[in-house]
């Protein structure tokens, strides 16, 4: 049996206690780290993880744990950003070895908001939106997908979500639509909504565009966020399922515990995840 200790050892990211302010110095080049070995899946970060952090602090944390992919949120790059702001923010991430590979989660409650989301993605320079269009907007969203060749990955938000509690609630509405209409599977929320994650990976594989990785304490509405590997989700089986379908996307950690002091939990979660992958 593989222990958590072995998982963390293989990650090569054991993290001592450190303040975020000191990490900003690291991000600005004061320290150099050996590159991590690549796993079979890119590991990224969902931007909501950094809701309480500046861009520089977010970069410092990502650099500290070896993350190179980011789904950027609008509190770091507003939807109405000027071209100059977009160049500045994306350039800052790029300068520190971080690729903004998608935008979102973006909520869409009108055709005008769908238009704004697709224009935003085009201006940022990404080919995918993680979004939540209402049922009545799916046809219009499909039209924008066809016009722009920008994919949409619809995000599920668990048992409290009236639109898309789990991935089936997305898939059943899009499976006959354009193949660029897909899913961002949030595995923590899906598990809380009663989803069998391995079954979901296998059944929805052609439409599985993105992943938000998290662990929870229980597979019901009472499940709470916890460090990856400490909760109720069977990560070895889940990662094996991704390997089986040759999942082509990013596994982005969305860490929602201790959100004003995330570094220890992020480091442990990334280490565990990489350990499972190895």
pLDDT in tens, the chain (278 residues): 444 544 444 444 444 434 455 455 444 444 444 444 555 689 999 999 999 999 999 999 999 999 999 999 999 999 999 999 999 999 999 999 999 999 999 999 999 999 999 999 999 999 999 999 999 999 999 999 999 999 999 999 999 999 999 999 999 999 999 999 999 999 999 999 999 999 999 999 999 999 999 999 999 999 999 999 999 999 999 999 999 999 999 999 999 999 999 999 999 999 999 999 99
State which residues form the domain around 220: 4-13+40-277
- CATH number at 73 reads 3.20.20.150
Please count the structural domains in the chain.
1
Check residue 39 and give its pLDDT: 52
Tell me if 259 is assigned to some domain: yes
> What's the half-sphere exposure (Cβ side, CA atoms, 13 Å) at 108?
32
Q: How many CB atoms lie within 10 A of CB 78?
A: 13
Question: Residue 26 domain-assigned?
Answer: no
> Does residue 22 sit within a domain?
no
Residue-level pLDDT at 10: 45
Q: Is residue 240 part of a domain?
A: yes
Please give the backbone phi and psi of residue 202, each rounded to the nearest 5 degrees, phi first.
-70, -40
Tell whether 27 is covered by a domain: no
pLDDT of res. 16? 41
The verdict on residue 23 lying in a domain is no
Asked if residue 11 lies in contact with residue 274, where contact means CB atoms within 8 angstroms, the answer is: yes
Within a domain: 129: yes
Residue pair 108/143 in contact by the 8 Å Cβ criterion = no
In order of 64, 89, 92, 125, 262, the CA distances from 76 in angstroms are 19, 8, 12, 16, 17
Contact 204, 185 (CB under 8 A): yes
Q: Treating both helix axes as pointing N-terminal to C-terminal, what angle do 263-277 and 55-65 enclose, rounded to 10 degrees?
A: 40
Burial level of 120, CB count in 10 A (0-12/13-18/19+)? buried
Helical packing angle, 111-124 and 83-95, nearest 10°: 50
**What is the pLDDT, as a whole number, of residue 23?**
52
Whether 104 is in a domain gets the answer: yes
Residue found under tokens 């950027």: 72
CA-closest candidate to residue 127, choices 100, 161, 163, 155: 100
Tens-digit pLDDT profile for residues 149-191: 999 999 999 999 999 999 999 999 999 999 999 999 999 999 9
Q: What percent of the chain has pLDDT over 70?
A: 86
């Amino acid at each position: 049996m593989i222990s958590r200790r072995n998982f963390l050892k293989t990650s090569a990211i054991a993290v001592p206690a450190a303040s975020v302010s000191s990490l900003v110095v690291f991000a600005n080049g004061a320290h150099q780290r050996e590159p991590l070995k690549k796993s079979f899946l890119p590991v990224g970060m969902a931007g909501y993880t950094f809701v309480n952090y500046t861009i520089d602090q977010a970069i410092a944390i990502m650099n500290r744990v070896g993350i190179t992919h980011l789904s950027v949120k609008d509190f770091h790059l507003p939807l109405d950003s000027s071209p100059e702001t977009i160049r500045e923010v994306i350039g800052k991430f790029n300068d520190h070895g971080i690729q903004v590979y998608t935008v979102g989660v973006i909520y869409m409650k009108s055709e005008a908001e769908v238009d704004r989301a697709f224009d935003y993605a085009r201006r940022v320079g990404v080919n995918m939106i993680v979004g939540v269009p209402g049922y009545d907007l799916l046809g219009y969203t499909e039209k924008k997908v066809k016009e722009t060749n920008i994919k949409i990955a619809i995000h599920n938000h668990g048992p409290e979500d009236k639109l898309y509690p789990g991935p089936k609630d997305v898939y059943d509405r899009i499976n006959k639509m354009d193949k660029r209409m897909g899913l961002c599977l949030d595995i923590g929320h899906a598990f809380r909504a009663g989803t069998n994650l391995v079954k979901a990976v296998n059944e929805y594989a052609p439409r599985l565009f993105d992943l938000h990785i998290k662990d929870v304490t229980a597979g019901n509405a009472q499940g709470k966020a916890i460090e990856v590997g400490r909760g109720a989700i069977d990560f070895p089986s889940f990662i094996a399922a991704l390997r089986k379908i040759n999942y082509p996307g990013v596994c982005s950690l969305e860490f929602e515990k201790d959100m004003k002091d995330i570094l220890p939990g992020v480091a442990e979660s990334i280490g565990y995840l990489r350990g499972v992958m190895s």
